[in-house]
Amino acid sequence: MNEVRLTARKGRWIVLCVITLIAAGLLSPWASSHPDGLERVAEDYEFLHRAEAVHEWAPIPDYEVGGIPWTALRIGLAGVIGAAVMLAVLWGVLRALTGKGRERAGGTDHGHGAGASSGAAD
């Protein structure tokens, strides 16, 4: 049986996730205030004024959570939310990629894949 395992210790993954969320929350307010690549090009070639307003349904416009009076907290919370979303996506992708291996190892293959038995006694 070739089972793909990320790690034998889930505690390490939990600690890494907590450290990631703390770093995102504490370091986000000190991120560079200089424009990113596309905005910089728009400034350099003088077409930034053509930009449209941020869509009203944008989940985190300008990397800030609205409705909070403190700037550092608005930005830090946006960093935590962004990191949490990325961790959830990573977890889902890894589960999808390794899920079939766990199903076969646990005997819940339900007749799919190589080596599945028909259920009849030999």
CA neighbor of 6 nearest in space, from 85, 82, 99: 99
Please tell me the pTM assigned to this model. 0.61
Measured at the alpha carbon of residue 78, what is the angle toward residues 72 and 81, in degrees to the nearest 5? 140
Q: Provide the 3-class DSSP secondary structure of residue 85.
A: helix
pLDDT tens by residue, 6-42: 566 788 888 988 999 999 999 988 887 777 777 888 8
Tell me what pLDDT residue 107 has.
54
- Closest to 24 (Cα-Cα) out of 67, 68, 69, 63: 63
Q: Residue 108 has what pLDDT?
A: 53
Higher-scoring residue by pLDDT: 84, 49? 84
Higher pLDDT, 37 or 111: 37
